Copies of this chain bind each other. A is one copy, B any other.
Amino acid sequence: MRTLYHSWVCPFSRKIRIILGEKKLAFEMVVEHPWAPRPDYMLLDPAGRPPLLVEPDGTPIADHTAIAEYLDEAFGDPLLIGLQVRPRAEVRRLIGWFDGKFNDEVTVNLVGEKVFKRQMGGSSPDSKAIRAGLSAIGAHLEYLGALAEQRRWLAGDEFSMADIVACAHLSAVDYVGDVPWDQYPAAKDWYARMKSRPSVRPLLTDSLPGIPPPAHYANLDF
């Protein structure tokens, strides 16, 4: 069996779950917290940074970007980064946008403060970080909505890993109820399409003890 070591509500883990779902690859999940990786885990991933994928033959594939690229190269149907060199660069530009810029400006400030810090048993959320996250998200939703309207999917006419990565981050921020969907109808329409995908639906049933998602979380009408 293929095994994914993951952390709940972690956008990088969610990205791999959606990719595995799109490619219809069965897997089991084992929780591994990035802030306290176990010694046994470190033998498989010396960086100590889940997600980690362990293939059925026991080979560990570490690093979220490496896992995503590996899955697209090893299991091509459907191809999620595309075939042509320049469109592939556009998919990866948007992957970098969400895993880099959006993560730094939004996910870390909101999900990091409200979910990870709490799980670590640490201090209360930093209100300055939360204000920064809430203030940054609007411009991202505006940009995402504009792309989705011009192109149908974020990187072009075809669904791609750019949509998956954006959804991984936005579904994590939506878990803490911090996405102002009603102010950004084009982004909301794109997210409604993402929510209805069989690869995404399992994520919407996640519920952490003591940190439940908002009532609308799994609803297709939100």
Q: Which residues of A contact B (CB under 8 A)?
A: 46-47, 49, 59, 61-67, 69-70, 73-74, 85-86, 88-90, 92-93, 95-97, 100-101, 143
A70's closest neighbor in chain B, by CB?
B89
| Contact A93–B63 (Cβ < 8 Å) | yes
Are A96 and B65 neighbours in the complex by a CB distance under 8 Å?
Answer: yes
CA distance A63 to B70 in the complex (A): 19
Least Cβ distance of A108 to chain B in Å? 11
List, in ascending order, chain B residues with CB within 8 A of A96's CB.
47, 49, 62-66
Given pairs A66-B89, A70-B92, 17 additional interface contacts (CB within 8 A): A46-B143, A47-B96, A47-B101, A61-B93, A63-B93, A63-B95, A63-B97, A63-B100, A65-B92, A65-B96, A69-B89, A69-B92, A70-B85, A70-B86, A70-B88, A70-B89, A73-B85
For the complex formed, measure the closest distance between the CB of A122 and the CB atoms of chain B, giving whole angstroms. Answer: 18
